[in-house]
Amino acid sequence: MQALIDLITRAGHCQLDVALYTLLPNEVATTIVLRFLEVYGVLDSLVIWLMFARQV
């Protein structure tokens, strides 16, 4: 029983490491890029273009 508990604890610890050290930095970088695109109006242009393309 103790071995199972240790296995689950180690798996949870590894999962936390993956979330903190890989997924979180990627999420932060994506947020920064999207914010720059929003500030420079790229996202607005993309939305307008997609609306026009959908009507055609």
The Cα–Cα gap between 47 and 51 comes to 6
Question: How is the chain split into domains, by residue range?
Answer: 2-55
**pLDDT in the model for residue 5:** 85
Q: Residue 14: what pLDDT?
A: 83
pTM, two decimals, is: 0.62
Task: For 3-52, write each residue's pLDDT tens digit.
Answer: 888 888 888 888 888 888 888 899 999 999 999 999 999 999 999 999 99
Please name the amino acid found at residue 40.
Answer: Y
